């Protein structure tokens, strides 16, 4: 075992010998051999070694000379700079995937650390290049980027220069890079290891069960209220048990960010994220204000849900209660068929790309001890292909997760043509294809369903997902704003203070519709985004509202929209988000833009209310 076994409050799991239920996707494991044969494959070190060597040679050739290169020479240098890094990215992607598949294997953690340390060596050899580029005077830089020889690199070079006010000297950059391995990156990994190993004791009617975070969270969707309440209790107790360590990680990482922001001259804690997202603070504020202005929709919906469930009080563990009788778990094959079918309705090419993930074992879907919770799609490197990780339990929302992650997968597959530096988009547009993919599946389900009770349940399910993506993420971003501000003003924060901030951020969204108990105070502790990528969350709201606008376009334009959409995906991160989405006729710089998507959500709430009136009552 790793550091987590030293966790003093971790009790021995009483049923640790019990066979683990791998769920309906048992046996669905990815085959990582397209990257490397295994953690001991000598090619990993050979790749890293070659990278370090080439980085040194690159530095010997170009250090101190960037200002004297002409456009053609600079273009060659950028090509070399990109090509030499791909093997290291490959090794890094592999180590990350291996670790996600089993966070408990010490050699996975060790490989991750090893690759990170070699990666640091490489980055430190190369850091001069970007620093010299951003140090160029604007006029000289503009003359170069406007040269046709650099046409394909214009966006990359121009966007690097937005960091001009925030970069440090080369020795300072190197120090920060090296110390991150034992600082923020190490704490980030510890967070994954703690939650990967954590057991949550849930008192079920059949007796107590020790569950993983993923399993316990999925019981919040159970039809039985006592089960949901027990899962909620078990999660709270588990989080509280780890709260001292997790709270310490939060305090440390929030302070680490404050230090980085001070050194790099970012005035606001969100500035660095907005800059990375290639979106200005005003647009983000417009998005958040528009969402907060419609919080009333959340309360309106949950009042309806309380009535439909026939409850006097709707507690936090009732939020995800199913409205129709559960139709049993769905097999992984059924999920595959549904998602590929919905994709094919939109564009056969999209289904063909997605089918590869199943046929060529690019998906890991079964439940396993030590496997990271949640789901993701990793782009890896342009020369290989993306990999998708999920924890499939067979619920409808798991099917939606398949649709979501395969959306990412298709996006990453199409954009890999753009090469290493431009295959990934900023976070704001990174959620476009995923949320769009979910929408396609939702619409297909709704089309095929004639029973009003089930239709109502589907609409409610979509609304709950959309609320989780739009409003909840804004509430979480507001929590982070308060958390970072409080840490900067008040020093290390006691757990109770962080709990209070969490409640302050969440209460306004629910109004009087959901009663949040004291247990809910602890529920910020397991959110990985707060740890791994501060202020990530608003990108989900951005993505969902953008997708609602895209769906409206699709409805207006029909099939003509399809090739433009696929081109948008294939463009990857080769343009800034406002320019990218202007390709499909949308203007996200208009503050009123967000109201369009929010209005569609309001329509959906009204539809749910109408279905409920019309006898769609579920219970």
Q: Which residues bind Zn ion (CB under 5 A)?
A: 434
Q: Is 567 helix (H, G, I), strand (E, B) or coil?
A: helix
> Taking the complex as a whole, how short is the minimal distance between the CB of residue 427 and Zn ion, in angstroms?
9
Residue 293 to residues 58, 223, 285, 474, 534, Cα–Cα distance (Å): 52, 32, 12, 11, 23
Comparison of 433 and 605: residue with beta carbon closer to Zn ion:
433
* Alpha carbon distance, N-terminus to C-terminus of the chain: 47
Q: What residues does 376 pair with on adjacent strands?
A: 389
Comparison of 380 and 434: residue with beta carbon closer to Zn ion:
434
Length of the chain: 619
Q: Is 417 helix (H, G, I), strand (E, B) or coil?
A: helix
Comparison of 85 and 434: residue with beta carbon closer to Zn ion:
434
CB 170 within 8 A of CB 344: no
Token readout for 279 is: 């979106």
> Taking the complex as a whole, how short is the minimal distance between the CB of residue 331 and Zn ion, in angstroms?
24
Angle at 395 between CA 533 and CA 402, to 5 degrees: 50
CB 133 within 8 A of CB 423: no
125-138 per-residue burial string, b: 16 or more CB within 10 A, e: under 16: bbbbbbbbbbebee
> Taking the complex as a whole, how short is the minimal distance between the CB of residue 373 and Zn ion, in angstroms?
14
d(CA 390, CA 406): 10
d(CA 393, CA 221): 11
> Taking the complex as a whole, how short is the minimal distance between the CB of residue 489 and Zn ion, in angstroms?
33
> Taking the complex as a whole, how short is the minimal distance between the CB of residue 24 and Zn ion, in angstroms?
22
Comparison of 434 and 506: residue with beta carbon closer to Zn ion:
434
> Taking the complex as a whole, how short is the minimal distance between the CB of residue 408 and Zn ion, in angstroms?
6
If we measure between CA atoms, which residue out of 79, 36, 32, 90 comes closest to residue 381?
Answer: 90
Comparison of 52 and 468: residue with beta carbon closer to Zn ion:
468
CB 96 within 8 A of CB 39: no
d(CA 554, CA 565): 9
Angle at 110 between CA 109 and CA 116, to 5 degrees: 90
Comparison of 396 and 403: residue with beta carbon closer to Zn ion:
403
Show Cβ contacts of residue 116 under 8 Å, excluding neighbours closer than 6 positions. 92, 95, 181, 185
> Taking the complex as a whole, how short is the minimal distance between the CB of residue 407 and Zn ion, in angstroms?
8
> Taking the complex as a whole, how short is the minimal distance between the CB of residue 466 and Zn ion, in angstroms?
14
> Taking the complex as a whole, how short is the minimal distance between the CB of residue 434 and Zn ion, in angstroms?
4
CB 304 within 8 A of CB 612: yes
CB 219 within 8 A of CB 322: no
> Taking the complex as a whole, how short is the minimal distance between the CB of residue 543 and Zn ion, in angstroms?
8
Token readout for 390 is: 């999920």
Comparison of 436 and 561: residue with beta carbon closer to Zn ion:
436
Would you list the DSSP string of 452-514?
HHHHHHHHHHHHHHHHHHHHHHHHHHHHHHHHHHHHHHHSSPPHHHHHHHHHHHHHHHHTTSS
Comparison of 409 and 578: residue with beta carbon closer to Zn ion:
409
> Taking the complex as a whole, how short is the minimal distance between the CB of residue 189 and Zn ion, in angstroms?
21
- For residue 363, count CB atoms less than 10 angstroms from its CB and return exposed for 0-12, middle for 13-18, buried for 19 or more: buried
If we measure between CA atoms, which residue out of 62, 87, 84, 86 comes closest to residue 73?
Answer: 62
> Taking the complex as a whole, how short is the minimal distance between the CB of residue 376 and Zn ion, in angstroms?
7
* Position with the least CB separation from Zn ion: 434
Show Cβ contacts of residue 231 under 8 Å, excluding neighbours closer than 6 positions. 200, 202, 211, 216, 217, 219, 220, 222, 317
Comparison of 322 and 407: residue with beta carbon closer to Zn ion:
407
Comparison of 150 and 427: residue with beta carbon closer to Zn ion:
427
Comparison of 243 and 412: residue with beta carbon closer to Zn ion:
412
> Taking the complex as a whole, how short is the minimal distance between the CB of residue 463 and Zn ion, in angstroms?
19
Comparison of 412 and 434: residue with beta carbon closer to Zn ion:
434
> Taking the complex as a whole, how short is the minimal distance between the CB of residue 389 and Zn ion, in angstroms?
12
d(CA 545, CA 57): 47
Comparison of 245 and 434: residue with beta carbon closer to Zn ion:
434
Comparison of 540 and 565: residue with beta carbon closer to Zn ion:
540
């Amino acid at each position: 075992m790793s550091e987590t076994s030293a966790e003093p409050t971790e009790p021995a799991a009483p049923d640790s010998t019990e066979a683990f239920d791998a769920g309906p996707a048992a046996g669905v494991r990815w085959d990582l051999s397209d990257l490397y044969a295994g953690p001991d494959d000598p090619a990993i070190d050979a790749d890293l070694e070659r990278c370090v060597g080439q980085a040194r040679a690159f530095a010997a050739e170009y250090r101190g000379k960037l200002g004297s290169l002409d456009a053609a020479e600079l273009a060659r240098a950028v090509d070399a700079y990109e090509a030499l890094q791909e093997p290291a990215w490959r090794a890094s992607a592999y180590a990350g995937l291996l670790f996600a598949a089993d966070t408990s294997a010490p050699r996975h953690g060790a490989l991750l650390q090893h690759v990170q340390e070699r990666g640091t060596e490489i980055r430190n050899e190369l850091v001069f290049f970007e620093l010299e580029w951003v140090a160029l005077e604007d006029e000289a830089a503009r003359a170069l980027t406007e040269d046709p020889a650099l046409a394909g690199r214009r966006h990359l070079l121009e966007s690097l220069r937005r960091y001009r006010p925030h970069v440090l000297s080369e020795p300072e950059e190197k120090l920060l890079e090296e110390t991150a391995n034992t600082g923020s990156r190490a704490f980030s990994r510890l967070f994954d290891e703690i939650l990967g190993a954590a057991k949550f004791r849930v008192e079920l009617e059949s007796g107590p069960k020790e569950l993983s975070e993923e399993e316990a969270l999925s019981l919040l969707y159970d039809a039985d209220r006592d089960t949901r309440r027990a899962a909620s209790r078990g999660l709270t107790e588990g989080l509280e048990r780890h709260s001292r360590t997790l709270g310490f990680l939060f305090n440390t990482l929030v302070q680490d960010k404050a230090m980085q922001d001070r050194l790099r001259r970012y005035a606001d804690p969100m500035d660095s994220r907005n800059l990375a997202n290639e979106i200005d603070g005003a647009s983000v504020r417009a998005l958040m204000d528009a969402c907060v202005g419609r919080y009333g929709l959340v309360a309106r919906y949950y009042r309806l849900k309380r009535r439909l469930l026939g409850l006097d009080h709707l507690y936090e563990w009732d939020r995800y209660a199913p409205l129709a009788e559960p139709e049993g778990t769905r097999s992984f094959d059924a999920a595959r068929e549904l998602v590929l079918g919905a994709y094919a309705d939109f564009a056969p090419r999209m289904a063909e790309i997605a089918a590869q993930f199943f046929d060529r074992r690019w998906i890991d879907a079964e439940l396993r001890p030590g496997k990271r919770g949640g789901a993701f799609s990793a782009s890896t490197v342009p020369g290989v292909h993306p990999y998708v990780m999920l924890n499939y339990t067979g619920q409808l929302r798991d099917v939606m997760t398949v649709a979501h992650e395969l959306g990412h997968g298709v996006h990453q597959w199409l954009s890999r043509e753009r090469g290493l530096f431009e295959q990934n988009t900023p976070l704001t547009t990174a959620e476009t294809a995923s949320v769009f993919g979910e929408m396609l599946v939702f619409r297909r389900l709704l089309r095929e369903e004639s029973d009003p009770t089930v239709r109502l349940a589907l609409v409610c399910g979509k609304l709950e997902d959309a609320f989780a993506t739009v409003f909840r993420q804004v509430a979480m971003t507001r929590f982070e704003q308060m958390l970072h501000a409080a840490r900067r003003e008040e020093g290390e924060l006691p757990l109770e203070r962080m709990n209070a901030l969490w409640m302050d951020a969440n209460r306004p969204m629910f109004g009087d519709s959901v009663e949040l108990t004291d247990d809910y105070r602890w529920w910020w502790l397991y959110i990985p985004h707060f740890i791994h990528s501060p202020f990530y969350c608003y990108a989900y709201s951005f993505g969902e509202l953008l997708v609602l606008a895209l769906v409206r376009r699709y409805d207006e334009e029909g099939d003509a929209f399809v090739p433009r959409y696929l081109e948008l995906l294939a463009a990857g991160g080769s343009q800034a988000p406002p320019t990218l989405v202007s390709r499909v006729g949308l203007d996200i710089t208009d503050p009123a833009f967000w109201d369009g998507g929010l209005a569609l959500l309001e329509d959906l709430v009204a539809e749910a209310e109408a279905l409920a009136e019309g006898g769609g009552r579920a219970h």
